Structure 1
Amino acid sequence: MRVVYTDAAWSLDESGQVEPARAGIEREVFGPGVELDFGLHDGRFLLDGPEFHRHVRGASALVIYRCQVTPALLDAVGPSLRVIARSGVGVDNLNAPLLKEAGIAGFNIPDYCGDEVSTHTLALLLALERNICAQDRLVKGDRWSVHAGGLPRRVSARTAGIVGFGRIGRASARKLRAFYDRVVAYDPYVSADLMAAHGVAHAAELGELFAAADAVVVHAALTPESDRLVDADALARARPGALLVNTARGRLVDVTAVLDALERGGLGGFASDVFSPEDPNDDPVARKLLERDDVVVSAHRAFLSAESERSVRRRVAQGVADVLHDSLERDDDNH
């Protein structure tokens, strides 16, 4: 059986080349009976087109990261495909309805990096609150000044808001409560009683959350209903000088609306670990955000730690191995 890791960032060496020898965890889990193959990389992973489709042909399993599951991908792999695993929390690129229709197993790892993402969220938010990045640039540029970069506010007198109260939203709530006077959350799928159990107030509508919070962090899942959830209407309800942080999915936030809100002073700052497209330099609106001192960004690495990477790799490999083992047993029974 052949398992193809389409775009595993951990498989790249220091020079940016795919290095199969890095797959020690995977070889330990799969054993000698499984052939491992890795994505095509030339500056970026190739995730579509004829060359990529030839590369994945005949795979028994795919492990994807950013790769999109499409009918063309399934057709390219062919009837050998038994399972697709998403090496991460989100399922927006896994295309569960298509996999169900095709009879192909699919899974993600929803809980491996809650500590990392919630910590990264607080790091971005506090960097905005304390103007850390602006100060860093000024001092390193030989422009030392105590008051340069703006006057921070006292967070212990402020309210923090959370959009999405799943595993990561709850982890962030615990950490936010150490800094902010009050935490409020919006999630149409979570009861006010459960939020209260975490010491968090309930907002019935997204606009109500923005009207109540001095800082808002986004932890919602990306679905067709939540695409561009944080839009111009939501931001119009924001408190003057409110801060916005997104460590979930780029398409949850309308960056055009964010840029407009920053330019007119409606928002006091924006921080994001995620964009759509992935690299904000590839989008003209996002590039304008990068030029601003009131914007802090990172390269979609909120999930990352040595521990989380080892965990997700082992759990993905074990899940794929289990599906392939079950598939072999069923084939043997049928014969």
Structure 2
Amino acid sequence: MEKKKILYYQIDDTLDYESDLLRQWGITDLELVQAKEGDFVEEARDAAGAVVEYQQVTRPIIEQLPQLKIVALQSIGVDNIDLDAATDHGLCVTNCPGFCSEEVALHTIGLIIDLARKITALDRSVRAGSWDPLLGYPIHRLSNKTIGLYFFGSIPKKMIPMLRGLQLSILVYAPTKTAEYLAGFGAEKANSFDELLRRSDILSLHCPLIPETEHLISDRELQLMKKTAFLINTARGRVVDEAALVRALKSGAIQAAAVDVIEDEVGAKSELFTLENAVITPHAAFVSEDSFYGARKTALAQLVQRICRNGRPEHLVNSAVHF
């Protein structure tokens, strides 16, 4: 029986875990192949499926790979895949929804506490030779402050008990959620995005990167926020206009920001790195051994469903695709 090739492109670690899963599942007709270098099209030319993380899969690429049946991402975001082109060519795109919700929720809470207590700023100062507990902006209690959540998916839901433990009032802008639904979580519904911006002492972003959310936060939005507000971004870098955020942090339009994502993650460069009132982590919010292996298992299961069973993958993103 001829085996069908599955390309793991620029994915770290060995494929021992995936191979063990296939043995446990009784799958014998897949060949898992790694390519950590080389041109994606050339490597995927004879593949039935591919697993990618950051590789851009554009329409021209898809058009050169007519035999490719599925692209499985070991992540939640799919902004690096041209979904319209994939749908047009019968290519399934899958992701791993919720695989790191607990990790990102906890990381976000950590960033909130970091800014509220100036932990990173004080650590930098001490290591530079200063011993000044009053460094920087004034510290206030978090209790009875308002946190604004932009969108209300699995990550904000995981945050709710932690936020309530911090005695924060929770305000949510999520157009598809009713006030009654949010009240069940102890949250209040904001009637508009502008209301969320104006009322939030802490604004935390939890939306996907789609055309409607690119540069969601720019000069106008930052000017609507409180001068004492914190901005937290653990979503995607391009959700925030980084140049506008730098201007706001320099001018005092908002007090501080903490981000796990930046616009140029390939070059790992940002003017935010130079600002004392910015805390940056290297797209690490999703990281844990549990999330890594959970995502790998989910991605492989999608490949098996599509290629071995000719079925509709459970986590199909482009649901309009026909194959």
* TM-score with structure 1 setting the length: 0.86
Answer yes or no: is 1:115 the counterpart of 2:102.
yes
Structure 2: 5+ residue runs without aligned partners? Answer: 312-323
Aligned pairs for 1:87-126 within 5 A: 87-126=74-113
Aligned to 1:271: 258
Deviation, structure 1 residue 67: 1.5
- C-alpha contact (below 8 Å) 1:82/1:327 kept by paired residues: no
Answer yes or no: is 1:155 the counterpart of 2:138.
no
Alignment counterpart, residue 26 of structure 1, candidates 9, 18, 22: 18
Answer yes or no: is 1:5 the counterpart of 2:8.
yes
Aligned to 2:243: 256
SS in 1 for 2:231: strand
- Amino acid in the other structure paired with 1:35: E
Higher mean displacement: 25-34 or 108-117 = 25-34
Aligned pairs for 1:1-335 within 5 A: 1-8=4-11, 10-11=12-13, 22-31=14-23, 32-41=28-37, 51-76=39-64, 78-279=65-266, 281-282=268-269, 286=270, 288-327=271-310
Deviation, structure 1 residue 105: 1.7
Deviation, structure 1 residue 279: 4.5
Deviation, structure 1 residue 39: 3.2
Deviation, structure 1 residue 239: 0.9
- C-alpha contact (below 8 Å) 2:29/2:308 kept by paired residues: no
- Amino acid in the other structure paired with 1:56: A
- C-alpha contact (below 8 Å) 2:57/2:81 kept by paired residues: yes
How many residue pairs end up in the alignment? 304
Deviation, structure 1 residue 209: 0.5
- C-alpha contact (below 8 Å) 2:59/2:82 kept by paired residues: no
- C-alpha contact (below 8 Å) 2:52/2:72 kept by paired residues: yes
Deviation, structure 1 residue 198: 0.6
Deviation, structure 1 residue 299: 0.9
Structure 1: 5+ residue runs without aligned partners? Answer: 12-21, 329-335
- Amino acid in the other structure paired with 1:318: A
Deviation, structure 1 residue 292: 0.9
- C-alpha contact (below 8 Å) 2:72/2:94 kept by paired residues: yes
- C-alpha contact (below 8 Å) 1:62/1:85 kept by paired residues: yes
SS in 2 for 1:227: coil
- Amino acid in the other structure paired with 2:16: G
Q: Which has the higher helix share?
A: 1
* TM-score with structure 2 setting the length: 0.89
Aligned to 1:19: none
- C-alpha contact (below 8 Å) 1:5/1:64 kept by paired residues: yes
Deviation, structure 1 residue 155: 0.6
- With CA pairs under 8 Å and 6+ residues apart, which has the higher RCO, 1 or 2? 2
Q: For the residues of structure 1 that align with 2:40 and 2:79, how far apart are their CA atoms? A: 21
Q: For the residues of structure 2 that align with 1:107 and 1:279, how far apart are their CA atoms? A: 23
Cα deviation digits, residues 222-248 of structure 1 (max 9, x gap): 211111111211111101110000001
